[in-house]
Amino acid sequence: MAAPICTFTACLEAGGPSFMPTQVVVVPLQVVEALGGKTTRRVAGTLNGYPVRLGLLPMKSGERLMMINKNICQAAGVQIGQQVTLTLNPDPTPDHVDLPDELAEALAAWPEAEAGFQTYNGSMRRAIAQHVGTAKQAETRARRAVELAERLAAGRHPFRK
């Protein structure tokens, strides 16, 4: 059976948790149900034609919230207040993580770190990759990748010294 594909239009709004204001789209209940209901936590598709892979956060109403960072908004050419068209389907590989080159190299060079990395769930692995990938300078990305690899290889938590 092919994965359901749902297309809908929504307004890009300011929102997100109070500690992390961002841009959000509310996924209507009928779309949530068409995507598989409560069991679907990650989706893949497009935002105004730009490819996205995002998580769905539950709301009390049964709808889901998709947080869309500023980089995706810029790449898709959208801003708060605009109508956006989303085409979504359940993510076929919800635990997939796009690794920054520096982190991929560090994990490949250090099998113990790779093993430690794989013990974490997809959400934590994405947080580790994001921590390395969001650094603006190559030196900072490399330093973060090495520090995280050292902690992972030693069996320590990646974000606790």
Domain termination residue (choose one: 90, 113, 142) = 90
Pairing mode of beta strands 64-68, 57-58? antiparallel
Please indicate, yes or no, whether residues 35 and 106 belong to a single structural domain of this protein: no
- pLDDT above 70 (res 3): no
Share of the chain above pLDDT 90, in %: 66
**Which residue range forms the structural domain that includes residue 69?**
6-90
What is the predicted pLDDT for the residue at 96?
A: 84
- Report how far Cα 59 is from the mean position of its chain's Cα atoms: 18
Task: CATH number of the domain at 52, please.
Answer: 2.40.30.100
Lowest-pLDDT range of 28-32, 84-88, 92-96: 92-96
- pLDDT above 70 (res 1): no
**Is residue 96 in a domain?**
no
Residues 6+ apart with CB under 8 A from 35: 4, 6, 27, 43, 88, 89, 90
Please indicate, yes or no, whether residues 113 and 147 belong to a single structural domain of this protein: yes
The mean per-residue pLDDT over the stretch 79-93 comes to 92
State the total domains in the chain. 2
Number of neighbours of residue 139 by Cβ within 10 angstroms: 10
**Is 161 or 129 the better-scoring residue by pLDDT?**
129
**Stated length of the chain:** 161
